Amino acid sequence: KAGVTQTPRYLIKTRGQQVTLSCSPISGHRSVSWYQQTPGQGLQFLFEYFSETQRNKGNFPGRFSGRQFSNSRSEMNVSTLELGDSALYLCASSLRTGHSYGYTFGSGTRLTVV
Amino acid sequence: EDQVTQSPEALRLQEGESSSLNCSYTVSGLRGLFWYRQDPGKGPEFLFTLYSAGEEKEKERLKATLTKKESFLHITAPKPEDSATYLCAVQALGAAGNKLTFGGGTRVLVKP
């Protein structure tokens, strides 16, 4: 059974650019959540998508956005990159939303902003 | 606002030296408390979910327990392969969707 796939694994961008990260959930999983992980702030919730609708959003500026496609694959976009956006971006997939089991994380995309 | 605090931040153990990690939490109502293990450069790997005070779960050398204010992850007779960062997270009853609030983690190093 394939796990959660995140692409690319590594990315280097320049300040002011924008970036798009991709997450393919486990087959059959319809919920995709995104998290940002930094040494200073730890893991912080960005947003969750279920059935192509945003279910919940964390305390991040509007530069961070996402979407989900009909096949449950999700993308997140960060516009006007800042140095502080350098982080490991993780996605987690789950069968459903609003429950407390079955979250599986991908290996993440390491974004470096220079 | 939900809060999760983990202690200690780092733990160095000799192989075979048992210890416990603490996770203190504040949440309006607990839907679930999660323990994950994370290796460098990888995503968190699920270990346990606990739902109510008094609940315990075990997996190999790991045992997780839950009270109304905190959870403990006990590592019995650890081996070097148990070296990792252990993350605790809570999900609130009133939370829309699947949002998890994480603690800062405990970095565990087990020396042979």
Give residue-wise pLDDT tens across range B54-78.
Answer: 999 999 999 999 999 999 999 999 9
Query: CA torsion angle for A46, A102, A93, A68 (degrees, to 10)?
Result: -90
Option in B43, B100, B105 nearest A108 (CB) = B43
Strand, helix or coil at B80? helix
Chain B residues within 8 A (CB-CB) of chain A? 31-32, 34, 36, 41-46, 49, 51, 87, 89, 91, 95-105
Split at pLDDT 50, 70, 90, the class of A2 is confident
Say how many CB pairs under 8 Å bridge A and B. 72
pLDDT at A99 over 90: no
Confidence of residue A97 (pLDDT cuts 50, 70, 90): confident
Apex A43 CA angle, B99 and B57, nearest 5: 70
Count of CA atoms in the C-beta half-sphere (13 A) of B15: 5
Reported as a single tens digit per residue, the pLDDT across A30-83 is 999 999 999 989 999 999 999 999 998 999 999 999 999 999 999 999 999 999
**Mean confidence (pLDDT) of chain B:** 95
Contact A103 B100 (CB under 8 A): yes
Q: B19-26 and B3-7 as β-strands: parallel, antiparallel, unpaired?
A: antiparallel
B31 → chain A, closest CA residue? A100
Q: Do B98 and A92 touch (CB under 8 A)?
A: yes
For A75, the token pair is 């993308």
Residue type, A109: T
pLDDT of residue B8 exceeding 90? yes
Within B1-105, strands assigned E span 3-7, 10-14, 19-26, 30-38, 45-50, 56-59, 62-66, 70-75, 84-92, 101-102
Report the alpha-carbon distance of residue B108 to residue B85 in Å, rounded: 6
- The confidence score (pLDDT) of residue A9 equals 97
Among candidates B34, B46, B99 on the partner chain, residue whose Cβ is nearest the Cβ of A45: B99
Helix (H, G, I), strand (E, B) or coil at A11: strand
| A101 pLDDT higher than 80 | no
CB B89 within 8 A of CB B96: no
Residue B105 with chain A: CB contacts under 8 Å: 42
**Longest Cα separation, chain B:** 44
- Other beta carbons within 10 angstroms of residue A84's beta carbon come to 10
**pLDDT over 80 (residue B86):** yes
How close A48 gets to chain B, by Cα (Å)? Answer: 7
Token pair, residue A52, equals 């192509």
CB contact under 8 A, A33 and B41: no
**Higher local confidence (pLDDT), A97 or B69:** B69
User: Taking the alpha carbons of A99, A105, A106, A108 in that order, is the dihedral positive or negative?
Assistant: positive
DSSP-derived letter for residue B39 is -
Per mean pLDDT, which range of A58-72, B4-18, B49-63, B91-105 is the poorest? B91-105
pLDDT band for position A1 (cuts 50, 70, 90): low
